[in-house]
Amino acid sequence: MPKGSSSRSFDCDHVPTRSFLQMTMGWFLKEKELAMMQTPHHFFSPDPFERNLGRFRKTPNEGTLFYGLVQDGNDMWDATFFCGSCAVIRRGPLDEIGGIAVETVTEDAHTSLRLHRRGYTSAYMRIPQARGWRRRVYPRISASASAGRAGWCRYSASIIRCLAKA
């Protein structure tokens, strides 16, 4: 098990900028109760919906809403969601809650709720500090692609069930 004071999290298709640590780690020095710092997910390539509908860079995608208004609003209330990538988590609070939550498929959001429940704060910085590439294979938009979005809703409901038991 690593012994560092913090952990950085990136999806395999994300590459951090050189300034990632410079832009995020200072927040932890300023606020001792800060458990997690999230930055936006940013992609160079379109998602399947944008690609198949010909909307890439013509209309804002769902990430623009979530990593704009939603996370900014969450940050105002110290309720920023950990999104699994492009983030730093302080080691002590993560150990205190037993590590990354694995009881649900939405382990990232579940982990942030556990941290908030323990009284830790979170922060969001709207400046992208990592870039990613989506898969280049774009099948037609299918029921399975839409089902993936609906799955996030179901999985989020499973977090509520887990937290209600705790």
26-78 pLDDT, tens digit per residue, is 999 999 999 999 999 988 878 777 777 888 788 887 788 899 999 999 999 99
Q: What is the pTM of this model?
A: 0.82
At residue 148, does pLDDT exceed 80?
A: no
CB 11 within 8 A of CB 99: no
At residue 166, does pLDDT exceed 80?
A: no
Q: Does domain 6-165 have CATH number 3.40.47.10?
A: no
- How far is residue 40's CA from residue 49's CA, in Å, rounded to a whole number? 19
The type of residue at 9 is: S
- How far is residue 59's CA from residue 55's CA, in Å, rounded to a whole number? 6
At residue 140, does pLDDT exceed 60?
A: no
The pLDDT assigned to 138 comes to 46
